[in-house]
A and B are shown apart, each in its own frame.
Chain A
Amino acid sequence: MKSILLSGIFVLGLSAAAYAQEAVIGAILPLSGSSATQGEDQRRGMELALEKINADGGVLGHPLKIVTEDSGGRTATALDAAKKLVTVDKVPVVLGEFSSGITIPIAQYLLQQDRVHINIGSSSTQIRTLGKGAFSVIGLDDVSGAFAAQDVFADGAKKVAVIAPNNAYGQGITNAFAAKFKSLGGVITSAILYTEGQTTYRRELQQLAAGEPDLYVYTAYGKESATINRESFELGLNDKKWYGLYLTMCTADSDAQYVEGQIGMDLNYIGGNGADYQKAYEAKFKGGFTSTFNGFAYDGVMLVAAAINKANSLDPKKIETAIADIGKSYEGVTGPIVLDADGQRSAQPYLRLKVESGKAVATQ
């Protein structure tokens, strides 16, 4: 009896050890809702990373597994997803989301639970102050806002109107843009933060037009952006130039005829080493990148896998140290990733883009 009990415990102990070796990480993405197009693209980047990692032998000798949850584009759903990943799947690391207004709360929750958070798609400047254990593989808006302001000013516009979503992302990028634009000598006639999820933005657009700007600066999530582009066309605001911040996000779901000729900026989503990745994406998904965000999801997963292997453990604290270590100089498909003291990507190159025949092409 005693020997059966002892051997039973021994076998259980072995299997527990073997089970603990399998690496499971979590991801929260907007697979439905206004950013569904971008969320699906992020998922594709992760899928490619997973294939590559497992083809190379996996993590800690076992295949890597990613549990992906849909945030639905809503904070409450995303927080439920984070709770589930922490308490049920017991993951040490979670990647996500896309919208800053959702990324920040889930990151705060994950850090409270002593897990590691990787930001792969948000850019609000508030992400910098999240704390230890939160990392970003994507550049924040203090840099992108300033870049856009310089671009717009160089284009000749001295009075601009700005419209952005009323959340952490919109507020952050509007402030960053406005600060730089004013310092260059420009004037912001009005800045409107629109409420997400409306079916019409006519009133906001008319308020913007009343200031008679030279150029409109806008940024909006996919489906809402489609409405804004259509209504600005119907109101005749297309007579003036429109500049999109993260242009591919703004035009992904819009009808091509409404966005023809728009200019803007977006992330430089392919670095020197990204050619192989781009080929693999195009082969698997039968088409070019649907957004600029898949590469960052890919880099996020690759970085986490490398960190787990380096730490040789699934302990969140050890993974955190390993990420900080590897992040001192890591070559991702989106270019060189160097994480600064706050765990944020310190150098993020951007592209100037113009919409021609329905596609955003880089100009220089």
Chain B
Amino acid sequence: MFQFLVDVLMRACDLMLVAIGMSAVYSLMKFPNIALVQYAATGGVLAIVLQKTGMPVVIAIAFAVLLTGLLAVILNEFLFNRMLKIGSSTAMIGSLAVSMIFSAGFLVTVGPSPSRFAMPLSRPVRILDARITEPQLLSFAIVAAAIGMFALLYFRTDLGRCMRATSTNEVLADATGINTARMKTIIVLISGVMAALGGVAIALKGEVDIQMGMDLLLPVFASAILGGLGNPFGAIAGALLISFAETAVTAVNFGPLLGQVVAFLPVAYASAISFLLLVAALLWRPRGLFVSEVKRV
């Protein structure tokens, strides 16, 4: 039972940070930035590469995350803002193209084999009936800390208040004297940093390969939409719901019903369930499960 909870948490941690980034940026930019999932992959890959050059792990992660945030700001400034002037679907297709360039970039630089952090062998520790390894615990800690700091920033600081105002109604925020251009840059930076941290959390638990970004795309989207685009903390609930569904689908033993010892649904159905949930949400609650301040999908 506890192992089930641990698995749900682990899968949710994969998705949470990137979904928060996606949600925050969408409310601002009014287009779904597909390249965001590639920022996650970039964060993970960059941290691994930096560690290989000799940096200690913590410094490598900090640098990687900051560099990815900067990359997000640069791409936004020179590419996505211009595409957005033409239209939001243009920007979305443009972001898809950019994410494919990222994929090709990874293939050329890192190669098709998965990369891993250089870490000592970690024996799993037994907590109740679950087995967890130290890197997995570290991964949880990073995600929890990131969410905590973001919540602090978002709700307790002046900057956070300005960010929320800009996300809700940009014109009004501008009229009250908030520098919306600066707010946008800051939010893009934060979303890039969150996505990169999410990628690092995934990399710590296992390995990163060039497909990681695109594999994350649809579950992250589903989480962000379920939580309500524009509501970053709804995205956390969305991620938990998606990962619960995915884990439950493959962990429930139908054996006793069928008269066998074990009978499970094939693992391929795990992703199908999250898309089913997404379709259901779009049909019945397109604004997300929670009331969000953005009245648009």
> Which residues of A are at the interface with B, using a C-beta cutoff of 8 A?
32-33, 36, 189-190, 192, 194-195, 197, 199-200, 202-204, 206-207, 210-211, 223, 227, 230-231, 233-236, 255, 257
Q: A32, A192, A194, A200: which has the most chain B beta carbons within 10 Å?
A: A200
> Contact at A227–B207, with CB atoms within 8 Å?
yes
Question: Residues of B within 8 Å of A, CB-based: how many?
Answer: 29
- In the complex where A203-B270, A210-B253, A257-B121 touch, is A236 in contact with B131 (Cβ < 8 A)? yes
> Contact at B209–A207, with CB atoms within 8 Å?
no
> Contact at A211–B262, with CB atoms within 8 Å?
yes
Q: How far is the CA of A255 from the CA of B207 in the complex (A)?
A: 13
Contact of A234 among B131, B208, B209, B267 (CB under 8 A): B131
Contact of B262 among A190, A223, A255 (CB under 8 A): A190
Which residues of B, 248-297, contact A by the 8 Å Cβ criterion?
A: 250-251, 253, 261-262, 264, 267-268, 270
A-B contact count (CB 8 A): 62
User: Is B148 positioned at the interface, with any CB of A under 8 Å from its CB?
Assistant: no
B211: which A residues are within 8 A, CB to CB? Answer: 197, 199
* 13 A–B contacts from the bound complex (CB under 8 Å): A189-B262, A190-B264, A199-B206, A199-B212, A202-B7, A206-B7, A207-B250, A210-B264, A211-B262, A227-B206, A236-B126, A236-B131, A257-B121
A233: which B residues are within 8 A, CB to CB? Answer: 124
> Contact at B207–A211, with CB atoms within 8 Å?
no
Q: How far is the CA of A268 from the CA of B38 in the complex (A)?
A: 45
A206: which B residues are within 8 A, CB to CB? Answer: 3, 7, 250-251
B124: which A residues are within 8 A, CB to CB? Answer: 233-236
Q: How far is the CA of A192 from the CA of B268 in the complex (A)?
A: 12
A200: which B residues are within 8 A, CB to CB? Answer: 206
B204 CB, min distance to chain A CBs, angstroms:
12
- Residue-by-residue, is B131-175 near A (CB-CB < 8 Å gives 1, otherwise 0)? 101001000000000000000000000000000000000000000
Q: How far is the CA of A189 from the CA of B263 in the complex (A)?
A: 10
Q: B7, B133, B206, B267: which has the most chain A beta carbons within 10 Å?
A: B267
A255: which B residues are within 8 A, CB to CB? Answer: 121
A194: which B residues are within 8 A, CB to CB? Answer: 267
User: Is B53 positioned at the interface, with any CB of A under 8 Å from its CB?
Assistant: no
B121: which A residues are within 8 A, CB to CB? Answer: 255, 257
- Apart from A204-B267, A236-B131, list 19 A-B contacts with CB within 8 A: A36-B113, A189-B261, A199-B114, A199-B208, A199-B209, A199-B211, A199-B215, A200-B206, A203-B267, A206-B251, A211-B261, A227-B114, A227-B207, A231-B206, A234-B122, A234-B131, A234-B133, A235-B131, A255-B121
Q: How far is the CA of A78 from the CA of B136 in the complex (A)?
A: 38
User: Is B112 positioned at the interface, with any CB of A under 8 Å from its CB?
Assistant: yes
> Contact at B112–A195, with CB atoms within 8 Å?
no
Nearest chain B residue, comparing its CB with the CB of A194 = B267
Q: How far is the CA of A199 from the CA of B14 in the complex (A)?
A: 13
A52 CB, min distance to chain B CBs, angstroms:
32
B112: which A residues are within 8 A, CB to CB? Answer: 32-33
Q: B136, B215, B264, B270: which has the most chain A beta carbons within 10 Å?
A: B264
A36: which B residues are within 8 A, CB to CB? Answer: 113
A190: which B residues are within 8 A, CB to CB? Answer: 262, 264
Q: How far is the CA of A210 from the CA of B7 in the complex (A)?
A: 15
